[in-house]
Structure 1
């Protein structure tokens, strides 16, 4: 396995060996009682807080004993100045003798101009950003050109703190990240489901680009607004909104490609569509062309057009990994210390239970119980037991979840995302699993195939959140005699 998320800048090599990491570096940053320390190890030490192994005080503990215990400056005899000249906090001095939090506050006040004219929301924004557990991450974020431009426009009052103002910006991850942070901290009103709001913004931009071609714009707008947007706006707590909006985008995009093909290849419009056009279009090109099926059938259902025939594209095989492959992946994931811990935990939950990746992404701290005598994870309606080898890794993850040092530090998600108030997306987790060599569909089927041999379909459905019908199908594939029997309704006597 390879690390799916290489982190940090590549270290420059030299001939001097650091006493802590043993890496060869071109120069040392400091000399402390345990030896000469490189820049990277010094930065780590200057951000490590906890109880001192000698005096017990909870403070900065940059030194290490021979056994690896953390020691404060006074007990270790470190003379390096690690106090902020402004606030007095023990920390690395970044600029002018000031700690990262004071530097961040100064930079934000200079850029955002909270008093010119006075704006309480901008003052709250400065306070919120400066209060994150790791202010250095905000300083790094501010150096991104798009972020720097957004903050400068807020400071000049060119960009107002409102949803219409953000909607008018060119689409960018930085703008959405800042907007979600403002919503999460109540500096902007909630737009409801953020994925639906992003879809609406995407749709407006897409339709704007089609306006010069009315013969394409009109049918696409009808399909997008009357069918997809209307359905997405219906409250549905069980809907996977991420997949729903992605599917809508794909169907709208493929329908647009089809209408463009009609226009350029046959010099006609959807109003003059013939079955021969559809057959020719679907017989060539990629399989995604079959996505236009919903668009064609919707036009017939609403009475806009006649009926046309488009068959479903069916999979020829059902991917199924061998049980030995699944077990080997479990073993290597447990032992892969070089892999990001959150990725390993997500991978193990998927390998063990075969649940949808979306459900793993949506797990919260309340779904996990690690206390004896029965540690569990709640995926379905019943809690599922957690295997003993997973517990140390899971507890380590709970103690140091990723993305907890910035504006998402109060998150209750098991896998917090980079955007405030959000968890990691299903797509992000799927990409990480694939980089570990996990064939998602084949491993999912293998896990359910193996589990259906040990647990009846009805109980397994309750544990994993699947329907009994789905688990009956997997039990039948595993050739379990009477696999569906517990899920059957007995006739009344």
Structure 2
């Protein structure tokens, strides 16, 4: 994470000509002071000079703010790479970041015994060298753990499953194995079962009672592990981790009370639920198993009431639509994700997993959410173009040619549903309330089965939305009738 920019210091420095803020002056260009932040930004800015048409680094500015190259602006700035000759920000010894990245990749992926790069690693090497932001690649390759793992992989004659299984299961190794899977070595990605087993072993160490550790090991081995097959999803993986975490918290809570697991009663369960966050209700994933296996007496957790979320009113939906295209804080990706919920009533997990093959941009722009494609009118069609041109999560080797509209942080995976949900909620688009409001509105304008077919939900679900929407409309009409009678 980048360090936060400090506050300006007008008592120490004069204002920068570019940003107007008082920071340390790094250079005087065109007889004006340039702060260190604008100086570094100008060294990286590529554009076209308005006077001579030169394309490259453009550090200068006209009085109107247009770009000028070094020659036309008279600015002396060394941005010529001594190796490739390109105009680019230099890293060290006159080499640009991209040349440095190529050297680092070759150094780490070359087999020290043969002096060449294993053919299995060529795809990874090329992807790393061509990543849009080479400085990010150099920074990543500085990580000692990353370097150790890459060197270990490069030092063998063949990258096989035995080698991959010998690697540590940490964040760097998981990411590297996902990159290998994405760029030529099928099956290299860490499977969910291995990741969960490694995580669970460390989590079990936090249990304060040896007896409770035995109970949790049985729960993990005989109840949860069977879920991690070839069809396991990231959601299943995260849900299992969350359920184990809450169960361990509960068992440690009992240990503090000095209550053995075989002696607990309903009061301890109720106290644990009442004194914690709403997450503690996830104890209902562990309790049924413990009761069924005769480790606990019959106990209950009052279920969460479904259908209690309030749907947004028509006025609130209009406000959201206005915010959708008026709020400059929204990136194109945020705006498209929110549009799919606000306009089309899509669930968050479907939005996160949207693929580019569901969108046709040849001629009339269409999107397929259900059985039939839907035409996207302006400004939605332009929004799709902006997202396609966006560089978010596409600046590294993780998603060089991603099929996902919203690529995630893990190579080959789309954006996480929970991450997207929290992001939209923070921007003023709570996904469930927004989606309910949308469906209860649009089902009053078209037959629910037709909408269900076009937007990809079950017809019965669409009918239920229609009934809720019509009941609210009926209550409104009745209220107006009573008002008119008075």
Q: What range describes the TM-score normalised by the shorter chain of this pair?
A: 0.7 to 0.9
Ranges in structure 2 where 5+ consecutive residues have no aligned partner: 475-486
What is the match of residue 140 of structure 1?
A: 139
Does 2:129 match 1:130?
yes
Q: 1:287 to 1:480 in 2, by over 3 A?
A: closer
SS for the counterpart of 2:343 is helix
Query: How far 1:216 sits from its partner (Å)?
Result: 1.6
SS for the counterpart of 2:319 is helix
Alpha-carbon distance in structure 1 between the residues aligned to 2:15 and 2:270: 69
Does 2:5 match 1:31?
no
Alpha-carbon distance in structure 2 between the residues aligned to 1:87 and 1:44: 22
What is the match of residue 79 of structure 2?
A: 82
Q: 1:44 to 1:386 in 2, by over 3 A?
A: farther
Query: How far 1:263 sits from its partner (Å)?
Result: 3.9
Query: How far 1:37 sits from its partner (Å)?
Result: 6.0
SS for the counterpart of 1:138 is helix
Contact 1:380 1:466 in 2 (8 A): yes
Q: 1:268 to 1:356 in 2, by over 3 A?
A: same
Alpha-carbon distance in structure 1 between the residues aligned to 2:453 and 2:68: 49
Query: How far 1:99 sits from its partner (Å)?
Result: 0.8
Contact 2:8 2:23 in 1 (8 A): yes
What is the match of residue 222 of structure 2?
A: 226
Alpha-carbon distance in structure 2 between the residues aligned to 1:235 and 1:149: 30
Matches within 5 A, 1:203-282: 203-207=200-204, 209-210=206-207, 213-233=209-229, 235=231, 241-270=233-262, 272=263, 274=265, 278=269, 281-282=272-273
Q: 1:182 to 1:11 in 2, by over 3 A?
A: farther
Query: How far 1:135 sits from its partner (Å)?
Result: 0.4
Contact 1:104 1:130 in 2 (8 A): yes
Q: 1:232 to 1:40 in 2, by over 3 A?
A: same
Query: How far 1:100 sits from its partner (Å)?
Result: 0.7
What TM-score do you get using the length of structure 2 for normalisation?
0.78
**Higher deviation after alignment, 223-232 or 75-84:** 75-84
Supply the RMSD in Å over aligned alpha carbons.
4.1
Q: 1:349 to 1:126 in 2, by over 3 A?
A: same
Query: How far 1:57 sits from its partner (Å)?
Result: 8.1
What is the match of residue 341 of structure 1?
A: 332
Which of 128, 146, 153 is matched with 1:150 structurally? 146
**1:87-109 alpha-carbon deviations (Å, 9 max, x no partner):** 22232223121111122234455
Contact 2:109 2:154 in 1 (8 A): no
SS for the counterpart of 1:388 is coil
Query: How far 1:447 sits from its partner (Å)?
Result: 1.4
What is the match of residue 183 of structure 1?
A: 181
Which of 84, 92, 95 is matched with 1:95 structurally? 92
Ranges in structure 1 where 5+ consecutive residues have no aligned partner: 484-493
Q: 1:48 to 1:421 in 2, by over 3 A?
A: farther
Contact 1:48 1:62 in 2 (8 A): yes
Alpha-carbon distance in structure 2 between the residues aligned to 1:233 and 1:295: 20
Q: 1:186 to 1:25 in 2, by over 3 A?
A: same
Alpha-carbon distance in structure 2 between the residues aligned to 1:476 and 1:55: 66
Alpha-carbon distance in structure 2 between the residues aligned to 1:217 and 1:315: 34
SS for the counterpart of 1:355 is coil
Alpha-carbon distance in structure 2 between the residues aligned to 1:371 and 1:113: 40
**1:251-291 alpha-carbon deviations (Å, 9 max, x no partner):** 22222333334444253224x55556545655654444433
Contact 1:403 1:409 in 2 (8 A): no
Alpha-carbon distance in structure 1 between the residues aligned to 2:389 and 2:61: 21
Aligned residues: 462
Query: How far 1:436 sits from its partner (Å)?
Result: 0.8
SS for the counterpart of 1:411 is coil
**Higher deviation after alignment, 312-321 or 21-30:** 21-30
Query: How far 1:475 sits from its partner (Å)?
Result: 0.8
